[in-house]
Structure 1
């Protein structure tokens, strides 16, 4: 369900023509409506959100792409997102009666949100147009004032999840203003509901556009969609907000025009995340959930996985992971690899295939960020907009500034092996920091660049505190060559087919530029290993026994740095 939705509910949706899935593979819902883990017969690549609204006051006609009520009769390995959400809400709000399994809640507000009052005196509510996780959406219009008659969308949410509602409104209020987000008007409350008033998007869901094309987009049309999605995702991530439920149903067009803007909606599951924080709630929609979410340790990279699933669907008309049950879907997400052998993949460009693969990498450290995806060769020439600032740059810079001089030298050698395409992203990021006339940046440049793009959400995700850890740049400046060493991701380079070539070439440069004999104790001190660490066990294979210099294996490990994971592995 979206915060703003334009399509009235309908029960007579028909299958898309030229469906990419044979009819024999479609499964009809059983008569009792229990569609647990089954695929919609209408949408061969569409999976409804597992977290249906349990709290609506009325039951409208169900649209073909709305989420069916599903009752979980047994635990799944891993646990079902919907079941997890229900349990979390019940634990979090002890004052609220338990939510009946699939039933309705008549609990009124037991706490004031501090939102505006008098919703009914300002808005005339029309028909229901959408339904989602914790409420439903209706069309409405202003009753009076300068905006009299203006159509809006109103999400009505029963406050069963008090802090979740408060956080959703806070996020929407903070982020409103981006071209690919609906305008946020205000939030109201009364005894029964919270009302979130948003821009009404009348162009329908991205899902509907996909279905109208028979499930397939041309590469050029897919790029147009991707640029808009990635821009809003990059914006959210820079502010420290992770959406956690990106899927075609949660993107709406502002109008029926082919060129209308696409807007991200439904931040009901969104949350703030610090740059160095990992979340552990299992939430989202089964077909779009990232592997690390199922492992209960994830951050903004989980949204990029969901974007990867969307672009896979756009380009080939089918889902990269499918099974008949939720547990089967989760196993596929964790273990299976998406296929690129079937039609139309062999007919698509190699850049398109590489783009999708780099978004659907199961290792979140190797996955592209939204800003990096916008600079990918497949998409960058079609992107007229300025590349957004990437929070990953500051994460990597912090790690670099805390590194030993030996590791910094290794990273500088690696940065000299980057290709023109790999340098494009770094040049754009460096330019966004507005270097001085002598081509260098300092902490002031970073703060100034962020202030231009900051919202109140940055405070809640504690990004200013994180940037304070770059204080070393307060006393010195960094040129572009060092910036490349500081802001490159070793993990992402490892995901490339040419990684071995990168590493070997960088090691040769490192050998020429100062690889010298090193004692193990000296190396341990250089890497900051404490006396309690078994340094000989950890570092014995880092050095060549013939001359005491750093070996190739040691060089590659040095690029990553020494972590507790490295030590435990030994």
Structure 2
């Protein structure tokens, strides 16, 4: 009987490993690229090591999640979703960036930006409470992250000081958000019903199982309250007592030190902690509140939704680059597209598979972008590469994916080879003409060639193609003008040649879960089998 049970357990473990073989759908040996050094932390699901990039010697953190510990489909999905969300939010200066994901037989490895300055929680504990000016600076960072999340259709659901790290110790440490293990993609107007989060920071509507992105602002309000006075606004001796306080206890803005805190500070706290989420401030309203302004913590410029920034960048690119981005988008793994897919479906209100000008305008409006219909129409026309007056999924991906995808060599090669039909190693004028005809676009191919063909040999090699894809507006415009001028002088073309269609400017660039964070307060777990070894 015992032998039989032992055999069953062995089979079960083998089945789990096989079943979880492609958690991140990206295989590879992390040690081909990184040298493992000392252990930085350990939790229930894995271990964090300091690692060094073999090529650059840069330091990173690598979280190695034991696949043996992912015992349910929910555990697997939690890891997958968190990686998807962090990839989706990439590029924000106050969010920890993922450098790469790897997977082997026993572990999922997530290499990410190293934050060696500890948790924001520890800074608060050391200080007791912050000055209003310092609290406003921290709140600006936190709420700017929340604003970015919300405009990218992500609700965090576990905002607390422990989930913000500092890049270094001392006054120059930059605050970075981490631990998106409870985050979810959401549709504007849709509600969630899971009770998740950390007790002190949970919004009342979460406890009522009917909430949306407004719950994140409540959590930010709790953090601000703690920053200003040193303790949470709602507390108790047990989780249930805390929840009862959140639902019904009055907000205390009278006890010490609140008499010494400014009226504007009390006003923003009161409005962030409004129990009715409909009366609660939005992220943008928090950032533009008078208290933030009085403490020089207002945004340097008006906040524009990230998706609109990316669309505007896309419209400034030449047609070759726009079509190349479409090729890259088509070749990206599903893991990297999950967030953009959610955003597309959110804008595609009638589920037709395309976005009309009205749907685009309404989708941008819901994200806080009130722009003229004429600009919305122009944006749609420039994104609509096939000319059907709508934006399809591939066109949407090309226009909204983060340009950090251009740093990956495999993406650039795939795009170049798409245009290099004869595999000669060059994109010729004829190949450009063919590519433009395939998408039914009339464009001055000679102007594109002049802008990209830096050495003037009449075609585009791979290096020139990469320079074009990664160039800034000014670089491309200057190159185009110089190339056209040289062409005119050398060939004595007629002056009318200079009056051809102008080149477009290019654009530059439940709480226990398997989190990919660099830290954690969960109790140490048993050593997982085949633990990644540090370098000796």
TM-score by length of 1: 0.51
Q: What corresponds to 1:115 in structure 2?
A: 26
Report if aligned partners of 2:26, 2:101 keep a CA contact under 8 Å in 1: yes
Q: Measure the CA separation in 2 of the matches of 1:266 and 1:155.
A: 15
Select which of 191, 194, 197 maps to 2:105: 191
**Pairing 1:37-52 to 2, within 5 Å after superposition:** none
SS of residue matched to 1:379:
helix
The Cα shift of 1:383 comes to 2.2
Q: What corresponds to 2:88 in structure 1?
A: 174
1:242-268 deviation line (CA, Å, top 9, x unaligned): 111111010011111313211000011
TM-score by length of 2: 0.54
Q: Does 1:389 align with 2:304?
A: yes
1:217-242 deviation line (CA, Å, top 9, x unaligned): 00000011001111111001100011
Select which of 196, 200, 220 maps to 2:133: 220
- The CA RMSD measured in Å over matched residues stands at 3.5
Q: Measure the CA separation in 2 of the matches of 1:151 and 1:473.
A: 39
SS of residue matched to 1:221:
helix
Select which of 453, 457, 471 maps to 2:339: 457
**Pairing 1:368-517 to 2, within 5 Å after superposition:** 368-380=281-293, 381-389=296-304, 457-461=339-343, 462-466=345-349, 471=358
Q: Does 1:247 align with 2:160?
A: yes
The Cα shift of 1:458 comes to 3.9
Q: Measure the CA separation in 2 of the matches of 1:174 and 1:367.
A: 27
Select which of 30, 45, 50 maps to 1:135: 45
Q: Measure the CA separation in 1 of the matches of 2:282 and 2:348.
A: 22
Q: Measure the CA separation in 2 of the matches of 1:378 and 1:292.
A: 26
Select which of 257, 260, 263 maps to 1:344: 257
Q: What corresponds to 1:419 in structure 2?
A: none
The Cα shift of 1:299 comes to 1.3
Report if aligned partners of 2:164, 2:177 keep a CA contact under 8 Å in 1: yes
The Cα shift of 1:164 comes to 1.6
Change (3 A) 1:264 1:157: farther
Change (3 A) 1:97 1:217: farther
SS of residue matched to 2:129:
coil
The Cα shift of 1:280 comes to 1.2
SS of residue matched to 1:358:
helix
Give the number of aligned pairs.
318
Q: What corresponds to 2:56 in structure 1?
A: 147
Q: What corresponds to 1:323 in structure 2?
A: 236
Report if aligned partners of 1:275, 1:466 keep a CA contact under 8 Å in 2: no
SS of residue matched to 1:331:
helix
The Cα shift of 1:357 comes to 0.8
Q: What corresponds to 2:78 in structure 1?
A: 164
SS of residue matched to 1:129:
strand
**Pairing 1:98-113 to 2, within 5 Å after superposition:** 108=17, 110-111=19-20, 112-113=22-23
Which has the larger helix fraction?
A: 2
Q: Measure the CA separation in 1 of the matches of 2:12 and 2:201.
A: 31
The Cα shift of 1:298 comes to 1.2
Report if aligned partners of 2:288, 2:299 keep a CA contact under 8 Å in 1: no
Q: Measure the CA separation in 2 of the matches of 1:253 and 1:321.
A: 26
Change (3 A) 1:141 1:465: same
* Unmatched 5+ stretches in structure 1: 1-95, 99-104, 395-428, 435-454, 485-570
Q: What corresponds to 1:277 in structure 2?
A: 190
The Cα shift of 1:106 comes to 11
Q: Measure the CA separation in 2 of the matches of 1:353 and 1:458.
A: 38
Change (3 A) 1:390 1:343: farther
Q: Does 1:294 align with 2:207?
A: yes
Select which of 278, 300, 305 maps to 1:365: 278
Report if aligned partners of 2:347, 2:360 keep a CA contact under 8 Å in 1: no
The Cα shift of 1:390 comes to 6.3
Report if aligned partners of 1:458, 1:464 keep a CA contact under 8 Å in 2: no
Report if aligned partners of 1:243, 1:269 keep a CA contact under 8 Å in 2: yes
Change (3 A) 1:175 1:383: same
Q: Measure the CA separation in 1 of the matches of 2:133 and 2:197.
A: 29
The Cα shift of 1:294 comes to 1.1
Q: What corresponds to 1:261 in structure 2?
A: 174
Change (3 A) 1:433 1:150: closer
Q: What corresponds to 2:35 in structure 1?
A: 124
Report if aligned partners of 2:41, 2:49 keep a CA contact under 8 Å in 1: no
SS of residue matched to 1:378:
helix
Q: Measure the CA separation in 1 of the matches of 2:272 and 2:311.
A: 26
Q: What corresponds to 2:475 in structure 1?
A: none
